[in-house]
Structure 1
Amino acid sequence: MKRQFITAALVALGAVTTSFAAFAAPSDSVPASGRLTFDVIRKGKDIGDYTVTFRGKGGDLDVDLRTDVKVKVPVIGVSAYTFRQQSTETWRGGKLAALSSKTDDNGTPHSISVGATPLIPASLWSADLLAARQVLNTINGGTDTISVRKLGTESVATGSGSVKAAHYAVSGGLNRELWYADGKLVHVRFKADDGSVIDYALR
C-alpha cells in the first residue's frame, strides 16, 4: 500500500449546477450539535474516524478537524499504513481568516499555516465547496482546481436514521462524491488509488 493511496483517500477535495446563494454562509453547514463524526470505511471495515467540532456562531467560527486512520494487513493484523491530521480553521464574517494543519502521512510530516484567503478549504464540511472552482489543499497549502455537478437526491443512511440528501460529484484536483442534507455533510465516498472504495459514514 503506497502513500498515494492515503493521500487520495484522506485529503480531506468548472461548471456548477447549484447557485452560490443556496449556501450563503459556512454557518449554514454547522449542525445543531456543533459536531460531525464519521466512521472511515474501507472494504466493509472501520479503519478510522473523521471528526469536525465547531465553536462560535453566525459568521464567526472556529473549526477543529481530526482525521485518524490506520489500515491493517488482513489476517496478520499489523499496522500497514497510518494517516493522522489535525487542523484548525478560523472563520470571521463568513470568510476563512486562517488555517493551520499538521499531518503525519505514514511517518512523513506536513505542517502548514495559511492566512486569510477567499479559497474554501478541502475539508468537505462546508457546502460552499459546491460553488467553488478552486479549493485549498489542507495538507500542502496548495490550490486544487475542481468542477462540481449534481447527481440527484437520494436517501442516505446515518447513525440517527435515513435522511434525504443532495448528491454531488467533485472532480479535478480532488475527486469526491458528497452528500449534503440541508447543507450539512452526511456522507463522503471516493475511490482510492488501489481501486478500493472509501466511505465516510456519519454516526
Structure 2
Amino acid sequence: MSESSPTPSPFADAPLSAVEVRALGCLIEKQATTPESYPLTLNALQLACNQKTSREPLMNLHPGELAQALRSLEQRGLTRLVMGSRADRWEQRADKQLELVHAQLILLALLMLRGPQTLGELFARSARLHAFDDQEEVRHHLERLAMRELACQLPRQSGQREERYAHQLGDPAELESLLAARAEEPAASRGASSAQEERIAALEERLAELEARLARLEASAD
C-alpha cells in the first residue's frame, strides 16, 4: 500500500450496520447486473439481500428492518427513494456521495456482499460487474480505497497463501466475528466452487428479474 497518510473514513465514528452494508451492496450489484429492473422495489431488494449464493454471511432480512436501513442510508446520502406511480424504488448514491469511480464502487460492493477476499477472487467475481484488465488493476483500486480508509488489507492468517482485503464501512467487531467464523470452518465445507457459485448467482438474478417483471404486470393489471 502507499505510504501517504490515509484520508479519514466517514465511517470510522459512525459505521454502517450489517443490514445497511448488505442493502447498499445489493443496490450496487443489481444496478450493474440487472439495469432493466433498477432502481429496486423493497421486495426486489429483500430477495437480493437474502440470496443463498454470493453472500456472506447469509441473512434473512424482513421488510421492516430493511426499510429502516434504507432510510438511515438515505440520511447519509448513500441511497435515494425514487417515488413511483405503482411502487416506490430505491437507488444507491454511494458513487456520488463517496466520489468513487466505477471500479472502486464495484470492489466495495463485492467486499460488502461476500466478505474478505483475495485479489484473485475479486478479479473473478467482478467479471459480470466491471471489466478489470488484470489483478494488478484490482490491487491499484484497492490501494486507492485504502488511502481513504474505505478498504484494508488484512493480516495473513494461518494457512492462508494470499492476502485478503475487506471493506471498512461497517463495525470492526463484525469483521472480527466473520474472520473468526471462517477460521473455525473446515476448508472442505466452504461451499461450491467459484464457477458454480457464479452460475447459481446468475440464475438467481434471472429469477429476481422475472419476479420483478411479473410484479409490474400484476400492478398494471389492477
TM-score range, shorter chain: under 0.3
TM-score by length of 2: 0.25
Q: When you count helix as a share of all residues, which structure comes out higher?
A: 2
Task: Considering Cα pairs closer than 8 Å and 6+ residues apart, tell me whether 1 or 2 has the greater RCO.
Answer: 2
The structure with the largest alpha-carbon Rg is 2
